[in-house]
Structure 1
Amino acid sequence: MSHTNLPEKLTAYMSRSNVALALSTDDGDVPLSYVNKAFCDLTGYKPEDVIGQNCRFLQGEDSDPAHKKALHDFVMDPDIDSGRFPILNYRKDGTTFLNFVLMTRLRDRKGKTRFILASQFDMTSTEKRSRMPAHDKKLNAELAEVNAMSVEFGLAMRGSAQTIADSIAMLARMSLNE
């Protein structure tokens, strides 16, 4: 499933997660190195379909250019530690879903980005949006565990807790406006 040498503990953990997770390297076009089963279930793609590709293959003609630019700007700016991005994505079968993506950089001891960890959540329906705070709480616990494992491999995440807290607040506001 992996296109590059990844820490085994990290990929084992990601494979057990029920949260849709993708891991990209910081090489060139930021290709996917690992996706878990939850990612495949959400998008309809198999790992062999996506490993080595940039995640933009999920975008389509109706994806908002401003949302695409926000994702691009995050990926291209190594000074931004984490971010959250709503974007219309397309499954393999062509159906769309409103994807809420949380991205966090995993850095080496020198501060260089080694990987970008992304969590995807389908927030197409209001019901799913109302479950987002529970998803963020679960993701926060999982990110803490990933961070602890990453330290063993000389990787670090910065600013994730604040991003998750901001995500919960944003989704609460969105739910109230429905």
Structure 2
Amino acid sequence: MTLVPELSSQLSEYLTQSRVALAIASAEDDNPLLMVNGAFTALTGYTAEDVVGQNCRMLQRDAPNVEPRARIHEFLSRDRQPNVRTPIINFRKNGEPFVNLLYMSRLRTLDGEARYIFASQFDVSRSQPELLADYDAALRRTLGNLTPVAGEAGIVVEGTLLTIANTAATIAQAKMMLADLDGPVAHA
């Protein structure tokens, strides 16, 4: 894991220790990754050295991801949209596809400047609904604990988990995305 020099050591340590797969990207330019934690590496197979400085879209390779990309683009282009949550097809370093339930929100300075993009990842490809519920609970705890730690560093965590959709619907959508990826592609 690469530490982001602008983040306080307490905030960096918190992100590093989280069991939830997390990444921090710059809120500027092409949103290059600034840090990823060990859970991100365990999920994707990519180390910090592999991905820091790159945009996370490299995880998508050539997957179409039309709707998820539109939702992410909308989030990134609308400064006042607090967060986004969408399933998206990603690929592990070894080339294995998975459906990532991506959650993104902005981290702002106290004067309102969007400084970072906070992202959480979870593999919902073949998950059971209870595992997604466990992840949702872990992400709620992560965001709840992150807020005061970030506040001490002069960073405001934007957004809430009100964006969590129906768990069963999310699992069903993920399975359909993976089936589309695994199945034969028919062109009209």
TM-score, with normalisation over the residues of structure 1?
Answer: 0.89
Q: Which residue of 1 aligns with 2:30?
A: 29
Q: Which residue of 2 aligns with 1:159?
A: 159
Q: Deviations over 1:45-102 (max 9, x none)?
A: 1101101111000012223222122112212221111110110001111110000011
Count of matched residue pairs: 173
Contact 2:7 2:153 in 1 (8 A): no
For residues 56 and 176 of structure 1, what CA distance do their matches in structure 2 show?
23
Q: What SS class does the counterpart of residue 68 from structure 2 fall into?
A: helix
List aligned pairs for 1:48-127, cutoff 5 A: 48-127=49-128
Q: Deviations over 1:10-54 (max 9, x none)?
A: 110111111100011112111111100010111111101101111
List runs of 5+ in structure 1 lacking aligned partners: none
TM-score, with normalisation over the residues of structure 2?
Answer: 0.84
Q: What SS class does the counterpart of residue 148 from structure 2 fall into?
A: helix
List runs of 5+ in structure 2 lacking aligned partners: 176-188
For residues 51 and 38 of structure 1, what CA distance do their matches in structure 2 show?
15
User: Structure 1 residue 5: deviation in Å?
Assistant: 2.6
Q: Which residue of 1 aligns with 2:185?
A: none
Percent identity over paired residues: 35
Q: Given the superposition, is the C-alpha separation of residues 27 and 161 from structure 1 closer, same or farther in structure 2, using an over 3 Å criterion?
A: same
Q: Deviations over 1:116-167 (max 9, x none)?
A: 110000000142x43111111111111111111111122112331323xxx1
Report the RMSD for the aligned CA atoms in angstroms: 1.9
Q: Which has the larger radius of gyration?
A: 2
